[in-house]
Structure 1
């Protein structure tokens, strides 16, 4: 049987309000800046030219963080406008899961419009890497405290992991929220906080247990992202109308995805930096495994739609905090 081809459009979200301040963002949940919105619109124009006769990807995915959802919705709206279509209503489906064995199910976040319009899917497994206690901290300040060797080891080594977050201090929370957990009073000022997990990820907690991180390496991101990619995202793209899917994620989750899809090792991934708002195309071939709902996937090609600008911006990402 001849291999068939699917296409992934990978994109790191547009600039967020914390990106603009040169802060480690992680699971903190800021919106896009005006620049971030314009980056999403520019990405849509590049995607439109690339898709040619296709008006938009058949299926799209994003993380559970606001900056990827805003980027995705901006791109979809812009694609409708560029194709002279009326703006199509969108409906978010949260990918929730059960353990033993791990299974995925999508649940409409806005069921009133779930049967109409364009569906997209969101999952915490596509979230940015959790930057532990570095979240909300200025990158230059962290570099000055820990030194260049540790700074780059945490940022780019496969197993590099920042110190754990202190959820009592660095997360917005209430008393007696989930499973009768009680947090102590928070008196210390902390400007940028991660959202209350029991509120932000309420749907995930309702369906089953999720073990959310308090600090992650790239290795950790790869581990939590891989089942979603293999068992939900890839099959949905294969089964879609035009076999084209768009994934709006984050620097670390896209790097982890490239490790998996391209077969990069821990040394090779060190040199991969993902700029904001620059669409990347990844082409894969696939064959269905007989008598199983799984596929053999092979890497075919990958490239940025604007390679020169992407290379320039990737170099800027590499040097964040050091210049």
Structure 2
């Protein structure tokens, strides 16, 4: 984290925006601990894959077939079946997820998302990328960009997931619903998005490690098609 912030020129970053992750623990290992506030929001969470969550992609591919599998994964409006919210996740000792064969059950969101429920936030049972954009866009406009304008902020770090990053790019870069299906986000490689100082319109984007980003983005697209999954 220290190296990433230095490379991005963010030694004086105003704040970090993240999902419900352990970013505070990661900052403890850097010189930036306590130097910037961390804002957490469920609106940056990964897309909710409904009944697909916790299942192995090769198994889903086999069940649904390539065309429907890719439509639901990549199309702007593709949406998995809804999850049963009456169930809770049961994790055994040393459970490694779906590789151990347990059936995924939705986590108890009454505990995890108590504040959101009190605020009458409508939490998803399944999502298309379009729906991720709908829940993320108000936060982007009314919190991130609005705050940047009020305090003349030059930079911030946003920690998200593949689908939330795709959604950010769709809004900021103005990518069409048709073209967004071809946008793949590599895991763990910092992406810089540069906006105009005056009107926050999109200027450019680039990865700190473009070669690794290209390779890893293709790996993301090919998930489920591995010969020996």
SS at match of 2:156: strand
Task: Please report the TM-score for the alignment, with normalisation by the length of structure 1.
Answer: 0.62
Higher relative strand content: 1
Q: Gapped runs of 5+ residues in structure 1?
A: 1-40, 81-86, 90-116, 174-188, 288-295
SS in 2 for 1:121: strand
Q: Which residues in structure 2 correspond to 1:31-70 (within 5 Å)? A: 41=1, 44-51=2-9, 54-64=10-20, 69-70=21-22
* CA deviation vs aligned residue, 1:57-99 (integer Å, no higher than 9, x gap): 21111113xxxx22x335534441xxxxxx633xxxxxxxxxx
* Structure 2: distance between partners of 1:241 and 1:74: 28
CA drift of 1:298 comes to 0.9
| Structure 2 match to 1:109 | none
166, 177, 195: which one aligns with 2:84: 166
Q: How does 1:208-287 map to 2 (within 5 A)?
A: 208-240=119-151, 243-287=154-198
Q: Which residue of 2 aligns with 1:308?
A: 211
| Contact 2:51/2:80, CA 8 A, preserved across alignment | yes
* Counterpart among 214, 217, 221 of residue 318 in structure 1: 221
Instruction: From the superposition, tell whether residues 235 and 259 of structure 1 become closer, same or farther in structure 2 (CA, over 3 Å).
Output: same
1:166 Cα deviation after fit: 1.1
With structure 2 as the length reference, what TM-score do the two structures score? 0.86
Query: What value does the CA root-mean-square deviation take over the aligned residues?
Result: 2.1
8 A contact 1:59–1:237 mirrored in 2: no
Which residue of 2 is the match for residue 36 of structure 1?
none
CA distance in 2, matches of 1:55, 1:225: 27
Alignment of 1:202-213 (within 5 A): 202-206=114-118, 208-213=119-124
Number of corresponding residues: 216
Residues 60, 120 of structure 1: 8 Å contact kept: yes
C-alpha distance in 1, partners of 2:187/2:25?
A: 14
Identify which of structures 1 and 2 has the higher relative contact order when contacts are C-alpha pairs closer than 8 Å and 6+ apart: 1
The answer to whether the aligner puts 1:201 opposite 2:159 as a matched pair is no
How big is each residue's C-alpha offset from its partner over 1:172-211, in whole Å with a ceiling of 9 and x where there is no partner?
49xxxxxxxxxxxxxxx954433211111111223x2111
Deviation at 1:118, TM superposition (A): 2.8
Distance in 1 of aligned mates of 2:36 and 2:214: 32
Pick from 52, 68, 71 the counterpart of residue 150 of structure 1.
Answer: 68
> Residues 60 and 240 (structure 1 numbering): CA distance in 2 closer, same or farther, change over 3 Å?
farther
CA contact (8 A) 1:47 1:279 kept: no
Classify the secondary structure of the residue corresponding to 1:167: coil
For the Cα contact (< 8 Å) 1:56–1:79, is it kept in 2?
no
SS at match of 2:201: strand
